[in-house]
Amino acid sequence: MRVVDLGSGPGNLTAWLHDALGAAATLGVDSSDAMLAEAAAHASADVRFARADIVDFARERAAAGATFDLVFSNAALQWIDDHALLLPAVAALVGPQGQLAIQMPANDDHASHRVARALARSERFAGPLGGYVRPDPVQRPAWYAERLHALGFPRQRVQLVVYPHVLPDTRAVVEWVKGSLLTAYRRRLDPDGYAQFLAAYEQALLAELGTNAPYFYAFDRVLLWASRASGPDGA
């Protein structure tokens, strides 16, 4: 099996996937130099890592006719805008009998995400952010199912799964999103501006969610699996 991991990050999952599948060759793709530096510890003769933009990589490899038996991505594609263009590019990497397996957070309707959007649009922060509001390109599961069928995947399983995370308290939600959602705002604000944004975010979030300990954080994720090989039931 030839495997590609799109958005491979620090590479530990890429290496685990390679071993678990007994793959012949696995390629991890990431655009972050910092992540690739960490991933180097997991590289081997059969596990390689490359720096590339995911969309550019997909288009170049597909144009060259270079496909994979498994195209895998865990919590990465939600950072790429316009999935109407992204999905066909990624699907083109899948070989004639290959599979696609993708996981993406899809929690945009939770207060943890709604509060950040409202703050970004507020008079206080809209100027410093230049009008930027972090978009959520992740679509509803049926949207992906319809397009995967049209892209030549007769077998598929597309579902929305709620992952329960019991956090110590409501404030822990802030720590959760600091390393994910809020990074988009941190990159666009100076240190003082981001500190103000973070303080305002915590205040607004706690006002909506309350100060509960522990706090049950219901986190939605979209899981996509699809295969180009037809099954006996055609499903």
Contact assessment for residue 65 and residue 92, using Cβ atoms and an 8 Å cutoff? no
Select 1-105's CATH number: 3.40.630.10, 3.40.50.150, 3.40.50.1970, 3.40.50.920: 3.40.50.150
Q: How far apart are CA 206 and CA 157, in angstroms?
A: 37
Q: If pLDDT is split at 50, 70 and 90, which confidence band does 232 have?
A: low
Which DSSP letter does residue 132 get? Answer: -
Q: How far apart are CA 59 and CA 68, in angstroms?
A: 13
| Residue range 109-127, pLDDT digits in tens | 999 999 999 999 999 999 9
**Residue 62, pLDDT above cutoff 90:** no
DSSP string, 85-110: HHHHHHHTTEEEEEEEEEEEE--TTS
Say what the pLDDT of residue 165 is: 96
Tokens found for residue 222: 């979209």
Q: Which residue has the tokens 């990589």?
A: 57
Tokens found for residue 107: 């929690």
Q: How far apart are CA 24 and CA 18, in angstroms?
A: 8
Q: What is the average pLDDT across 75-102?
A: 95
Count how many Cα atoms sit within 13 Å of the Cα of residue 140 in the half-sphere of its side chain: 4
**Residue 150, pLDDT above cutoff 60:** yes
* Percent of the chain at pLDDT exceeding 90: 94
Q: Give the residues across from 216 on adjacent strands.
A: 166
pTM of the model: 0.91
The residues near 70 (Cβ < 8 Å, ≥ 6 apart) are 1, 2, 3, 4, 21, 23, 98, 99, 100, 101
Report domain extents, the chain: 1-105
Across the chain, mean pLDDT equals 95
Q: If pLDDT is split at 50, 70 and 90, which confidence band does 235 have?
A: very low
| Residue range 3-48, pLDDT digits in tens | 999 999 999 999 999 999 999 999 999 999 999 999 999 999 999 9
Tokens found for residue 214: 């522990």
Q: What amino acid occupies position 9?
A: G
Which of 88, 84, 42, 69 minimizes the C-alpha distance to 229? 69
